[in-house]
Amino acid sequence: MKLLLKAGTVSQLARVFIQDATKSDGSGLTGLTHGSVGLKWNYARQDQAAATAVALAAAAVGTWTSGGFTEFDAVKLPGVYEIGIPDDALASVGSVQMLLFGAPDMAPCPVEIELTLVPVGTYAPRII
């Protein structure tokens, strides 16, 4: 998954799809929580020399919590989870790579976010 956000964005929620590694049909994995055994979430901004571990936290759908992790809708969108991206992950221009992984039956879930100077959805004139 790839996202485009303005650098310095705060209180950002994102939805990610986590595939069930035991199924060959691409099914989503349901039932994960912030406390699921083995579940990890790490990120590294382009300007960092090492990855940062995210402290997973309980969250409610639609409410940002740093490190928040909650299942969105196990029936209508199985495998879709909402995450609260830590503000520090989005602090500087460039990009940030995130990886959620490690829970039983979970396929690794990579997320890349491009961080721009210009707010997303606005026009930036160029001077020639």
CATH of the domain at 98: 2.60.40
Q: 125 lies in a domain?
A: no
Q: What is the CA radius of gyration of the chain?
A: 15
**More confident call, 71 vs 126:** 71
Supply the pLDDT for residue 1: 85
**Host domain of residue 86:** 2-116
pLDDT digits (tens, 9 = 90+) for 14-48: 999 999 999 999 999 999 999 999 999 999 999 99
Residue identified by tokens 């995130």 is 98
Q: 75 lies in a domain?
A: yes
**Contacts with 20 (C-beta within 8 Å, 6 or more apart), sequence order:** 27, 28, 29, 79, 105, 106, 107
Q: 122 lies in a domain?
A: no
Does residue 126 surpass a pLDDT of 60? no
Q: 32 lies in a domain?
A: yes
- Confidence (pTM): 0.91
Count of the separate structural domains present in the chain: 1
Mean pLDDT of the chain: 94
Q: 121 lies in a domain?
A: no
